[in-house]
Amino acid sequence: MTDDIKTTIRSILADMKTPDGGADVVSRKMVSDIFVADGKAFFSLTVPAKDAEAFEPFRVEAERYVEQLDGITKAMVALTAEKQAGQPSAAPAPIEARRQSPPPAPRGAPARATKPGIPNIDKIVAVASGKGGVGKSTTAVNLALGFRDLGLKVGILDADIYGPSMPRLLSLTDRKPESAGGRLLKPLEAYGIKVMSIGLLVSEETAMVWRGPMVVSALNQMMREVEWGHLDILVVDMPPGTGDAQLTMAQQVPLAGAVIVSTPQDLSLIDARRGITMFRKVDVPILGIVENMSYFIAPDTGTRYEIFGHGGAEAEAAKQDVPFLGAMPLDMHIRVRSDEGVPIVQAEPDGPHAELYRDMAARALAGLEKDTQHTTSPTIVFD
């Protein structure tokens, strides 16, 4: 049955017209092994780095076709940029990507040391990704629970204006924050962590049309006008990407560090690198990279599949001289627990994923502590 589906998928792909006008993707051996489990199909397409953007609509269409097959509920197709001889594993950013990289901060932009801190909150940590859908929110919430398990007082602030997900991830969708008197709001609480989400305060449509400065003022309000009590760490789930809204946030929120989430594909890593560059520009230390959906262990056989080319993020971390926080497999349990509103660290605290998330949290924490030892942070002047 599974083999039939794989054959059908291959013949669908073979019939699709390629954007570069060349032969079909199957005969050009651009299609990876196809993995089908639990009604989901996963595979990657290896495309020439220069054609990566042109292949994006093809990728989307391939997912759509595969999802129409009987027995398939979800398709996940990843584009992997082909390595050129003599090039490092991640292809250089295409021209378009470079054009979109964040504008340099203005000369004399405030360095981290000069941003006003938030009373009662010891450290604010951003969880960010260069692009959407890589598992940033899943990582943020499980890391927050990992910090909690390390004995810290933790809050999570969902600043993802494009798709706030904390209410859903923490089963808080029908709750509204109450007033704590005056201008202050009481945060919600779930599994021992305090929670505030832009999604609890304004509709997604409103949040989405906000420009950078408005988002930052809403964020500042959520940080300063919420009765958090004392927090050791406030985890901020950032909006994906490296546009103006993200740059303004990175620049103006007093961040102690940033965790970058990426999947292993070269294209995702290009975006992750843009994220690192953005935080570096505004003098926010990178606590490390997490490789999400790194590999897949078949539940029936225990065989490990590296469908998206596991290991890219670790290599990128080494190249960028930032810590590698760990690799999280693609696992249905992680998604199902998230959908149920009980993140895996909470739902299966003794399981392997909870342990991995706690290890990542411990590594990020070590980075934060190391950074505090350098009491005088350099003031960077941008050209």
Instruction: List binding-site positions.
Output: 130-137
134 part of the interface to ligand ATP, by CB under 6 A: yes
334 part of the interface to ligand ATP, by CB under 6 A: yes
Q: Min. distance of Cβ 148 from ligand ATP in angstroms?
A: 18
What is the token pair recorded at 261?
């989430």
Which one among 18, 32, 44, 137 touches ligand ATP, defined by CB under 6 A?
Answer: 137
β-pairing verdict for 286-291 and 324-327? parallel
For 114, 127, 136, 142, 186, the CA distances from 283, given in Å and listed in that order, are 11, 16, 21, 26, 31
Q: Which residues contact 157 (CB under 8 A, 6 or more apart)?
A: 196, 197, 219, 222, 223, 234, 235, 236, 237
Contact indicator for 316, 269 with CB cutoff of 8 Å: yes
Q: Min. distance of Cβ 52 from ligand ATP in angstroms?
A: 19
What is the token pair recorded at 337?
């627990």
d(CA 81, CA 46): 6
DSSP 237: E
163 part of the interface to ligand ATP, by CB under 6 A: yes
88 part of the interface to ligand ATP, by CB under 6 A: no
Contact indicator for 257, 283 with CB cutoff of 8 Å: no
Looking at beta carbons only, is 143 or 188 nearer to ligand ATP?
143
Looking at beta carbons only, is 118 or 326 nearer to ligand ATP?
326
Which one among 335, 348, 355, 368 touches ligand ATP, defined by CB under 6 A?
Answer: 335
Looking at beta carbons only, is 25 or 127 nearer to ligand ATP?
127
91 part of the interface to ligand ATP, by CB under 6 A: no
Q: Which stretch binds ligand ATP (CB under 6 A): 28-36, 64-72, 242-250, 325-333?
A: 325-333
213 part of the interface to ligand ATP, by CB under 6 A: no
Q: Which stretch binds ligand ATP (CB under 6 A): 55-63, 92-100, 133-141, 368-376?
A: 133-141
Which one among 129, 142, 197, 242 touches ligand ATP, defined by CB under 6 A?
Answer: 129
DSSP calls for 19-84: TTS-S-TTTTT-B---EEETTEEEEEEEEEGGGHHHHHHHHHHHHHHHHTSTT-SEEEEEEEEEPP
Chain residues in the site for ligand ATP (CB under 6 A) = 129, 132-138, 160, 163, 165, 240, 292-293, 328, 330-331, 334-335, 338
